[in-house]
């Protein structure tokens, strides 16, 4: 629902707009927390250590894309308030291009260099844990273009005063991730690869 935030009670608008944004960002970062909980419960301590090893690198990338789109949403909201649809479309196209370009660069450079990068950050890690971390990083890395698409679309909706829809989409993705983890890790016995694949599938469908 489009909300004209130039009219009405300012405090009510700010609270109603900001709370879904905070919750939506928390849900987006909760993917890795859900993976950690499920993996630790059903896949063992080694797999949990692998998720913990890969998580910091992944969070940096996710926050980078989110920050880009949050900055763009400020400009888009300005153009939306001014009813300048041409500039709004150009800003959307530029944000989408930069987000996808950043994601493509991560895929092209990050996936092949995942092992050296993780070793550089964490130093000496057991070979089994590192192999699992690289597997998890591979599947979740494939989801980065879809993260860019989500954040760009969320920026557009938020610029129009609608912060609830992006929050709902992020919440739905988390529920799909939980179900996918249960099926692929517990039922299918895929271990750490199942956690990464569940994250990828849930981000594709949101």
Q: For 148-179, write each residue's pLDDT tens digit.
A: 888 888 888 887 778 888 888 888 888 888 88
Read off the pTM.
0.76
pLDDT at 55 exceeding the cut of 80? no
- Band (43; pLDDT cuts 50, 70, 90): low
Give the model confidence (pLDDT) of 74-127 as tens digits. 888 888 878 888 888 888 888 888 878 877 877 777 677 777 776 776 666 677
Which tokens sit at 195?
């956690």
pLDDT at 37 exceeding the cut of 80? no
The residue ranking higher by pLDDT, 172 or 63, is 172
Q: How far is CA 95 from the centre of its chain?
A: 16
Q: Which residue has the tokens 């550089």?
A: 120
- Band (22; pLDDT cuts 50, 70, 90): confident
pLDDT at 8 exceeding the cut of 70? no
**129 CB contacts (<8 Å, ≥6 apart)?**
46, 49, 50, 53
Q: Is the dihedral of CA 190, 193, 194, 197 positive or negative?
A: negative
| Residue 2 backbone zone (phi > 0: left; psi -120 to 50: alpha; other: beta) | beta
Give the model confidence (pLDDT) of 77-91 as tens digits. 888 878 888 888 888
Task: Convert 123-159 into a string of H (helix), E (strand) and C (coil).
Answer: CCCCHHHHHHHHHHHHHHHCCHHHHHHHHHHHHHHHH
So what's the pLDDT on residue 151?
82
| HSE-CB of 9 using CA atoms within 13 angstroms | 4
- Band (206; pLDDT cuts 50, 70, 90): confident
- Band (6; pLDDT cuts 50, 70, 90): low
């Amino acid at each position: 629902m489009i909300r004209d935030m130039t009219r009405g009670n300012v405090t009510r608008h700010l609270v109603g707009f900001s709370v879904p944004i905070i919750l939506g960002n928390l849900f987006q970062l909760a993917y890795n927390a859900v993976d950690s909980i499920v993996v630790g419960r059903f896949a063992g301590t080694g797999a949990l250590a692998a998720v913990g090893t890969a998580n910091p690198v992944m969070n940096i990338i996710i926050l980078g894309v989110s920050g880009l789109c949050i900055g763009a949403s400020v400009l888009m909201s300005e153009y939306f308030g001014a009813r300048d649809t041409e500039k709004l479309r150009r800003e959307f196209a530029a944000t989408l291009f930069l987000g996808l370009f950043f994601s493509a660069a991560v895929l092209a450079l990050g996936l092949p260099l995942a092992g050296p990068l993780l070793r550089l950050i964490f130093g000496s890690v057991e070979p089994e844990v590192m192999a699992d971390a690289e597997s998890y990083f591979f599947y979740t890395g494939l989801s980065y273009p879809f993260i860019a698409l989500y954040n760009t679309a969320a920026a557009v909706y938020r610029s129009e005063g609608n912060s609830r829809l992006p929050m709902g989409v992020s919440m739905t993705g988390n529920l799909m991730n939980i179900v996918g983890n249960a099926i692929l890790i517990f039922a299918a016995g895929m271990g750490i690869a199942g956690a990464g694949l569940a994250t990828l599938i849930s981000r594709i469908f949101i």
